Amino acid sequence: MKKFALTVLAAACFSAPAHAFDLGSMISAGSDLVKSATLSDADVKAMAAESSVVMDKKNKVAPASNAYSKRLAKMVKGLDSEDGTKLNFKVYLTKEVNAFAMADGTVRVYSGLMDKMNDDEVRFVIGHEIGHVKLGHTKKAMQLAYATSAARKGAAGSGNSVASSLSESELGGFAEAVVNAQFSQSQESDADGYSVGFLKRHNYNVQGGPAALRKLADLYGNDSSLLSSHPAPGDRAVKLEKQIQSM
C-alpha cells in the first residue's frame, strides 16, 4: 500500500496502489448502491471506531516513548478536536508515506510520511485527511464497501447494530477500503481547501500545504496522466497557493 494522495491516507490519498478502491468511478457507476446502503452517521462512526481497533492490531503502533510519537504529540499539542469531533492520534511504524482519518476521530500518521515531511507539511496532511471525513468522502467509501459486501446481509438480519454484527475481518476490510480509497479530483481539491482552513483555524502555517504537495511532486512526479481523475500534486500546489493568496 503506497499511497498518499493527499492521500495521503488513509491519506490518506496521495499515491494510490493499483488495487486501490476507486471511489470516484464507483460513485459514478454505483449511485444506486450508495442509496441502498442504510448506514447512518452513527453507524459509520461506530464502524470506524471498531475498524480503528482492528487497524491498530494489524499495524505496528509506536509507543508513547517512541521518538515519532513524541514528535507527533508535540506537533498536535492542543489539537483535541476538530469541528465537534474528538481526535485521537497514533503513529504507525512503517516506511509507507501515508496517513488517514476516520469518522470517529481516528487519525493515524505513518512514520514514513514523517521522515519525508516537516511538521507544517504533516499538519497539512492531517488536515487533508480530516477534510475527507468532514466533507463526507470517507462515509461514501464506507457506504460503498458495505453495500457491495456479503457482510451487509448478515448485519441486516442479525437485529444488532451494524458495527456489533461485523466480524473483525469484515471491519478490517472496511477500514482498508477507506484507507485505500482513491478519491476524485474534485474531492482531493476540496480536502486540500479544507486543510488550509484547518491550518488557519488552529494557527498553523498555511504554507505547509503547498510545500507538502510540492514535496510529493518531487517524490513521485507531477504526472496525472495515468489516472485522469487524480490531480497531479504540483498542480494542486499551484491551486492551493492561489487560494491562500485570496484568504
Tell me the pLDDT tens digit for each residue of 230-243. Answer: 568 888 999 999 99
In one letter, which amino acid is 63?
P
Using the predicted structure, report yes or no on whether residue 165 has a pLDDT greater than 90: no
Mean pLDDT estimate for the chain: 80
How confident is the model over 92-150, as pLDDT tens digits?
Answer: 999 999 999 999 999 999 999 999 999 999 999 999 999 999 999 999 888 887 877 65
Residue 129 to residues 36, 142, 157, 164, 235, Cα–Cα distance (Å): 26, 15, 33, 26, 19
Q: Which triple of cell numbers denotes residue 215? A: 514535496
Residue with the bigger pLDDT between 48 and 182: it is: 48
pLDDT of residue 63: 98
Predicted confidence (pLDDT) per residue in 4-19, tens digit: 444 443 334 443 343 4
Catalytic residues: 129
Q: Which residue has the higher pLDDT, 193 or 159?
A: 193
In this structure, are residues 191 and 136 in contact, taking their beta carbons and an 8 Å threshold?
Answer: no
Amino acid, res. 65 = S
- d(C-alpha 218, C-alpha 73), whole Å: 27
Mean of the pLDDT values across residues 10-32? Answer: 42
What was the pLDDT predicted at 176?
A: 84
Whether the pLDDT of residue 228 is over 90: the answer is no
Strands (E) in 13-87, as ranges, are: 21-22, 81-82, 85-86
Report the alpha-carbon distance of residue 202 to residue 40 in Å, rounded: 29
- Residue 85's pLDDT is what? 95
pTM of the model: 0.81
Asked if residues 214 and 235 have their Cβ atoms less than 8 Å apart, the reply is no
Mean pLDDT, to the nearest integer, of 10-35?
A: 42
Average pLDDT over residues 177-183: 81
Pick 166 or 16 by higher pLDDT.
166
For the chain, helix (H) and strand (E) counts, in that order, are 13, 7
Average pLDDT of the residues in 21-40: 49
Enter the C-alpha cell of residue 162.
451494524
163 or 29, which is more confident: 163
pLDDT at 152 over 70: no
Rg for the chain, CA atoms, rounded = 17
- Confidence label for 182 from pLDDT (cuts 50, 70 and 90): confident
